[in-house]
Amino acid sequence: MWLSGGRMASVGRQSFGSCFRVLGRRGCNTAAVMPEAAGFEGVSDRSDLQDFSVCSSDSFWAAVARQRLSWIRPFHTVQDCDLSQGRIRWFEGGKLNVSVNCLDRHVHTCPERVAVIWERDEPKSEVKLSYRQLLEMTCRLGNLLRRRGVKKGDCVTIYMPPCPLAVASMLACARIGAAHNVVFAGFSADALAERIRDAQSSTVITVNQGVRGGKVIELKKTVDAAIQSCPTVQQVFVAMRTENPVVMTAKDVAMEEVRGHISNQNLLTVLTCEDTVCEPAGMDSEDTLFLLYTSGSTGKPKGLVHTQAGYLLYAALTHRYVFSYHDGDVFSCVADIGWITGHSYSVYGPLANGGTTVLFESTPIYPDPGRYWEMVQRLKINQFYGAPTAIRLLLKYGDKWVHKYDRSTLKTLGSVGEPINTEAWEWYHRVVGQGRCPVVDTWWQTETGGICIAPRPADPDAEIVPGMAMRPFFGIKPVLMDTEVYGSSCVSLCIAQPWPGMARTIHNDPQRFTETYCQPYPGYFFTGDGAYRSKEGYYQITGRLDDVINVSGHRIGTAEIEDVLNQCSAVAESAQLFGFSQFAQRLPKTRSGKIMRRVLRKVVDSELEGLGDLSTLDDPEVVQEIIQGHHDLL
């Protein structure tokens, strides 16, 4: 473990001793602030509510859970958590079905409301599905899965681009009680195989081919290659995204009726042989909803486990309050469904809220760098949620691509995945949002399930400082700890108490979960990110403290990249640092053969005075070579 030291640098917001004084101070109810939280005695404004949500977390979450979710059976215990032991359990005793919460209850009140708008790769060819249609598609898929032997507790791997069928597949799993494991459709056969094996999936759902940026991607062939080394796989459902036939094997099951290119009406003919009614399974709050793999600092990806009630509640609440989502708004999160951002803010959050969500299948520059803003105009998007890397890319193409289109429907702009630099933030705010839309920089992780720090979780009028995530969400208590990483002192971000959306464990490796997140500071959730707190109490996230690098807002372990680089005959060995790589003749290694990454990091950061102790290096001269090489590169 690279951590050493570890004392609490400072606590969040203020001393929470004052909370209980707040309670009972005034007699108003909070309905105007947050309808879900109506009736908390003594809480009269947003800041009171934030304090209450942290200090009286059980009362807060119990009320919100009762209000926002439809339960088959009410829970008897709000939470039973012990972070130091890695035990995290919420809403025990409760039973519910996530697909019913995302679909059926809205079909009862507004069946024809648009649930998803599929923004296909081909420009101007969007497909809309109402809640009624999405429920029918989900039920048909649920019946198909059940008929083909998928049972409660199984884990289905989904290898598909963002499309209604992918969402229906996720919800169909939830309907029958199976867990899903969505694998980003850009991952290689090896990466897919590793995830299928770890999840022990017997069923895979895919499409014949994907289409992205005008290019065809051979998804089915990748699945074929992957399952060669996955003995558990017994069946592969194949839908048709393009018209090109693919070779089908004995394990493949065609979903021929499913054609991506055909009209909205025809999409209704998906699996016509299946019934449109599918009995939802009653699930315990803590049954697994999905696994999602994310990279760690060692090679093996971690299958983080999210469960039913707590995850859904947290995704829904953050979606509503972080972005000020209102009924009737069109919400667009342009992340792929293969990442947690797509899970929480393309699928579960918006659908749990009865919202309209856009599924973006394309790229920011296809067919040209005006794609996002043309889409905003055509679909009348109200909230747009994207990644700094895309914003930085578009900024380079200039303002004209933005000005071409009407963005007057936009109300909130969101950013996620990495720190957003000031230039990108300003451009997003001034050019894209015409200076009138708040930019919300949202900090969170696959492990946290939903947004934990964002500028306006409680107050839609609060001040926003560019490039800062700023304020904790309801129920979140951030804490900064002094720590030492590679000999330098840093401040790391921890969260001092559990919240419903957090991951419960790592599939097949509960001990790794406890060691990674719970043991560095017993009793606290350790995020692995560095942070800073301004004198006003606002948080700024500085990035990963470990060897995980962030490529385009997605986490990739340095070990995984080094594995690939090292397969290349020209590269004898490699070390990657925070997305930066350079070719050097030799790497600084200790006598025992370990690459001294902190030295590389210091060189990259041009902090040559702080190189620290080099005495364990095999050949200290290597450092000079690297410094020279880096200098030449700049």
Give the residue with the Cβ less far from ligand WTA, 65 or 420.
420
Taking CB under 6 A as the criterion, which residues in 285-324 touch ligand WTA?
294
Checking 297-300 for CB contacts under 8 A at 24+ apart, the result is 297/546, 297/547, 297/548, 297/557, 297/558, 297/559, 298/557, 298/559, 299/557, 299/559, 299/560, 299/563, 300/194
CB of 328 to ligand WTA, least distance (A): 26
Instruction: Work out whether 555 is an interface residue with ligand WTA (CB under 6 A).
Output: yes
Q: Which of 91, 385, 443, 526 binds ligand WTA (CB under 6 A)?
A: 443
Q: Dig out the tokens for 455 from the structure.
A: 């500028």
Give the residue with the Cβ less far from ligand WTA, 63 or 468.
468
CA dist 405 and 435 (Å) reads 16
Can you tell me whether residue 527 is helix, strand or coil? strand
Instruction: Work out whether 341 is an interface residue with ligand WTA (CB under 6 A).
Output: yes
CB of 262 to ligand WTA, least distance (A): 34
Can you tell me whether residue 206 is helix, strand or coil? strand
CB of 171 to ligand WTA, least distance (A): 21
Instruction: Work out whether 554 is an interface residue with ligand WTA (CB under 6 A).
Output: yes
Give the residue with the Cβ less far from ligand WTA, 71 or 184.
184
The tokens 């890397």 sit on which residue? 389
Instruction: Work out whether 121 is an interface residue with ligand WTA (CB under 6 A).
Output: no
Instruction: Work out whether 487 is an interface residue with ligand WTA (CB under 6 A).
Output: no
Residue type, 83: L
Instruction: Work out whether 417 is an interface residue with ligand WTA (CB under 6 A).
Output: yes
Query: Which uninterrupted H or E stretch holds 313?
Result: helix 308-322
Give the residue with the Cβ less far from ligand WTA, 339 or 427.
339
Instruction: Work out whether 530 is an interface residue with ligand WTA (CB under 6 A).
Output: no
- How many chain residues interact with ligand WTA (CB under 6 A)? 23
CA dist 148 and 264 (Å) reads 27
- Give the residue nearest to ligand WTA (CB): 446
Instruction: Work out whether 333 is an interface residue with ligand WTA (CB under 6 A).
Output: no
Q: Are 425 and 442 in contact (CB under 8 A)?
A: no
Please give the distance of CA 211 from its chain centroid, rounded to a whole number: 22
Give the residue with the Cβ less far from ligand WTA, 257 or 529.
529
Q: Which of 75, 87, 53 is nearest to 452 (CA)?
A: 53
CB of 528 to ligand WTA, least distance (A): 6
Instruction: Work out whether 419 is an interface residue with ligand WTA (CB under 6 A).
Output: yes
Instruction: Work out whether 469 is an interface residue with ligand WTA (CB under 6 A).
Output: yes
Q: Which of 36, 286, 529, 562 binds ligand WTA (CB under 6 A)?
A: 529
CB of 429 to ligand WTA, least distance (A): 15
Among the listed ranges 70-78, 124-132, 252-260, 542-550, the one in contact with ligand WTA (CB under 6 A) is 542-550
| Per-residue CA distances from 117 to 318, 439, 579 (Å) | 21, 23, 34
Instruction: Work out whether 340 is an interface residue with ligand WTA (CB under 6 A).
Output: yes
Q: What single string gives the DSSP state of each residue in 564-613?
A: HHHTSTT-S----BTTB----SS--BBTTS-B-HHHHHHHHTT-GGG---
| Per-residue CA distances from 27 to 24, 120, 213 (Å) | 7, 51, 57
Q: Which of 320, 371, 471, 544 binds ligand WTA (CB under 6 A)?
A: 544
Q: Which of 71, 237, 325, 339 binds ligand WTA (CB under 6 A)?
A: 339
Q: Are 402 and 431 in contact (CB under 8 A)?
A: yes
Q: What are phi and psi of 556, to 5 degrees?
A: -130, 135
**Which residues of this chain interact with ligand WTA, rule CB under 6 A?**
294, 339-341, 416-419, 441-446, 469, 528-529, 541, 543-544, 550, 554-555
